[in-house]
Structure 1
Amino acid sequence: MATIKEIADKSNVSASTVSRVLNNDHTLTVQAKTRERILRVAKELGYETILERRLKQKQQDTKHVGIMLTQSLDEEISDPYFLSIRQGIEMELAHNGIKTATFRLHETEGNQMIEELDGLIVVGRVKESTLKAISRVDNVVYINHSPNEDLYDSVVINFERATEKALRHLLATGYKRIGYIGGKEMEHLKNQKLLSEDKRLTTFERYMKEKNLYDQESIFIGEYTMAQGYQLMKKAIQASKLPEAFFIGSDPMAIGALRALQEANLHVPEDVAIISFDDIEAAKFASTPLTTIRVHTKEMGQTGVKLLLDRLNGRELPLTVTLPTELVIRESCGGK
């Protein structure tokens, strides 16, 4: 790269004049023709100002990160759990000045933009083989799922521990006949949906069997929506023996279930107690405020971004971060 002195010699001016012109010093009095000559010579010699070098370096340093959502748009709208994770991701990426592109898994096949990314944050469940089929991005962080902890960073919660926490509270409060209302976890591909294990359900089944309290007829499975929570609770009410309490897999489903109980003139928690899962904003404003398992979803998203940035800065050892959950006690199931 040319020096200030070389530009000064070719422009027939002093080096200090060249320096002040190239750094856009407005206090300098110099003829327009002289200024134009200095700039022309600097360009011919390939000189870059400090400002230009900083701008080029900043452009080179700017990272491009993709957010891959494994949920359909309808699922994200009906259950704020994943929406809150995405908002946490977007907030943290924006705070770090990182450019982003958002994809849904079933829409990504053949998308060349994914190949150009510096990193990818995957929200939800997707098989490792599926991801490799659609992306060759090296730096990947999974949120709410960990397909291979020896290869990928991930941010998760312990669904088993959280479910046991809810069930222990119900048992400690005196309930024995406990039912389950939940949805199905799906992996969305381009032309199909694959059913995945829901650890809330499998943990409920295992734990209740260990306590000799399991009743298959008290389990009701549909979709993770408020409408399905309403319909499944109606189905439970119409059955021969209504449980004393329910663990419900999401707050939106629990809000729907509350409506069904109210229509049947059943009171919560006097007739039926409820513990749900998520602690979305609406949980404390439900017709009967919900006792629920709080999941720090926004922090899950923010933590995922921090892990990815750490990877991009050179860390090679994959990390799995498990965020804690907590039981929030409200009116739908009292006790301590």
Structure 2
Amino acid sequence: MVTIKDIADRTHVSASTVSRVLNNDETISVLDETRERILQAARELGYKTILERRILQKKKASKKEMVSVGIVLCQNVEEELSDPYFLSIRQGVEAELSSHGIKTTMFRLRETDADQHVEGLDGLIVIGRLKESALKGARDLENVVYINHSPDDDLYDSVAIDFEKATEKVLKHFLDAGYKTIGYIGGRERLHLKNESITYEDKRHTTFERVMKEKGMYKEEWVYIDEFTMAHGYELMKKAILSGDLPEAFFVASDPMAIGALRALQEASLQVPEDVAVISFDDIEMARYASTPLSTIRVHTNEMGRIGVKLLLERLNGRKLPLKVTLPTELVIRESCRKA
């Protein structure tokens, strides 16, 4: 920190003279040239008087007290509880906002009038897929961060993962481990509007299809799609078993779906991974305690939420350039598939 002595050394005057000039002591007799030299040195060195520092602290405290951030949840309560992926992101957002003492307003897009909440907010964090038109008030709100989706990388900050790369990791492991027939169980990605949601491309599904076609190993009848729930994972695996043409490995697009699928395999007296191998996606806590501990793609969901808040705070502090942060994923191998 710059001191009065630093300024005195630069201007070649006494420290007491510097102190009296900087504190506007009207009783001091000093040449205008000397006064200006002292003030110029203080500006160049970034010196702040005690009074200036107090004013600055009060401004910062006042600004911090005024910050109000809205959290938009694109999932209803049932969806969030059935798939902890988004719950973990929200918990990361809330923890980081709380650590900064920031006031928050949380609302679920399909359960309240979003526009009323957007008005008067300093910033907005959107968790999930959301079209811009769903938040009219956000058009004039520069400080918006999207997590797990971005409608426009040129306008908004976002935090995401690379679903294509993660899916490629899964398929590479299966192929390196010697699996020749591989199926897919997944859900429907939703793009949310104010009063409805529409099905959206799921990169896990499209990447699975692309890679398997490139390898000449794709069979449409080995692909099963419904909703991202444990119950649907169970029903889809039962359907695959009853088809009589069961692949020797499955990529399942979420851990809850995979846990349901494991139950269906167990009921059919099929062993994992001896009869059917499974790799899933998310690495929620339940994955390691499943009936057969799940190999899965680990997504750092809590950190996604925390980074989203940090991006928003940077925006509030003046950054204009929008940033997109893509977090890495990792393949965690447990008992549900063979090691490569």
Query: In the alignment, is residue 247 of structure 1 matched against residue 247 of structure 2?
Result: no
2:204 corresponds to which of 200, 207, 226: 200
* Alignment correspondent of 2:61: 58
Q: Which amino acid aligns with 2:189?
A: E
Q: How many residues align?
A: 287
2:297 corresponds to which of 293, 298, 302: 293
Query: In the alignment, is residue 227 of structure 1 matched against residue 231 of structure 2?
Result: yes
**Separation of aligned partners in 1, 2:104 and 2:287:** 31
**Separation of aligned partners in 1, 2:256 and 2:275:** 20
Query: 1:137 deviation in Å?
Result: 2.1
> Quick one: structure 1 residues 237 and 56, their matched pair in 2 at CA, closer, same or farther if it must change by over 3 Å?
same
Q: Which amino acid aligns with 1:69?
A: L
Q: Which amino acid aligns with 2:153?
A: E
TM-score by length of 1: 0.81
**Separation of aligned partners in 2, 1:52 and 1:141:** 31
Contact in 2 for aligned 1:179/1:247 (Cα 8 Å): yes
Query: 1:280 deviation in Å?
Result: 0.3
**Separation of aligned partners in 2, 1:334 and 1:113:** 50
Query: In the alignment, is residue 335 of structure 1 matched against residue 339 of structure 2?
Result: yes
Q: Which amino acid aligns with 1:174?
A: G
**Separation of aligned partners in 2, 1:255 and 1:272:** 14
**Separation of aligned partners in 1, 2:191 and 2:108:** 11
What whole-Å deviation, never above 9, does each CA across 1:190-220 have from its counterpart, x for those lacking one? 4322111111101111110011000000000
Superposed counterparts of 1:64-75, under 5 Å: 64-75=68-79
**Separation of aligned partners in 2, 1:191 and 1:57:** 39
Query: 1:334 deviation in Å?
Result: 2.2
**Separation of aligned partners in 2, 1:81 and 1:66:** 20
1:267 corresponds to which of 262, 265, 271: 271
> Quick one: structure 1 residues 239 and 65, their matched pair in 2 at CA, closer, same or farther if it must change by over 3 Å?
same
Superposed counterparts of 1:76-91, under 5 Å: 76-91=80-95
Contact in 1 for aligned 2:114/2:135 (Cα 8 Å): no
Query: 1:232 deviation in Å?
Result: 0.4
Moved more, 100-109 or 89-98: 100-109
* Alignment correspondent of 2:313: 309
- Give the 3-state SS of the residue equivalent to 2:208 in structure 1: helix
Contact in 2 for aligned 1:81/1:278 (Cα 8 Å): yes
* Alignment correspondent of 1:4: none
Give 5+ residue unaligned stretches, structure 1.
1-49
**Separation of aligned partners in 2, 1:209 and 1:84:** 34
What whole-Å deviation, never above 9, does each CA across 1:1-37 have from its counterpart, x for those lacking one? xxxxxxxxxxxxxxxxxxxxxxxxxxxxxxxxxxxxx
Q: Which amino acid aligns with 1:266?
A: L
Contact in 1 for aligned 2:131/2:193 (Cα 8 Å): no
Contact in 2 for aligned 1:72/1:188 (Cα 8 Å): no
Contact in 2 for aligned 1:67/1:102 (Cα 8 Å): yes
* Alignment correspondent of 2:20: none
What whole-Å deviation, never above 9, does each CA across 1:27-79 have from its counterpart, x for those lacking one? xxxxxxxxxxxxxxxxxxxxxxx999977863443210011011121110100
Q: Which amino acid aligns with 1:274?
A: V
Query: In the alignment, is residue 171 of structure 1 matched against residue 175 of structure 2?
Result: yes
Contact in 2 for aligned 1:69/1:122 (Cα 8 Å): yes
Q: Which amino acid aligns with 1:254?
A: A
Query: 1:293 deviation in Å?
Result: 0.3
> Quick one: structure 1 residues 108 and 176, their matched pair in 2 at CA, closer, same or farther if it must change by over 3 Å?
same
> Quick one: structure 1 residues 52 and 313, their matched pair in 2 at CA, closer, same or farther if it must change by over 3 Å?
closer
- Give the 3-state SS of the residue equivalent to 1:292 in structure 2: strand
* Alignment correspondent of 2:140: 136
> Quick one: structure 1 residues 215 and 86, their matched pair in 2 at CA, closer, same or farther if it must change by over 3 Å?
same
Q: Which amino acid aligns with 2:111?
A: E
- Give the 3-state SS of the residue equivalent to 2:335 in structure 1: coil
Contact in 2 for aligned 1:107/1:190 (Cα 8 Å): no
TM-score by length of 2: 0.81
Q: Which amino acid aligns with 1:268?
A: V
What whole-Å deviation, never above 9, does each CA across 1:295-334 have from its counterpart, x for those lacking one? 0000000000000000000000110000000000000012
**Separation of aligned partners in 1, 2:233 and 2:113:** 33
Contact in 1 for aligned 2:132/2:138 (Cα 8 Å): no
**Separation of aligned partners in 1, 2:328 and 2:190:** 24
Contact in 2 for aligned 1:186/1:194 (Cα 8 Å): yes
Q: Which amino acid aligns with 2:327?
A: L
What whole-Å deviation, never above 9, does each CA across 1:90-126 have from its counterpart, x for those lacking one? 0000001100011112234364231110000000111
> Quick one: structure 1 residues 208 and 243, their matched pair in 2 at CA, closer, same or farther if it must change by over 3 Å?
same
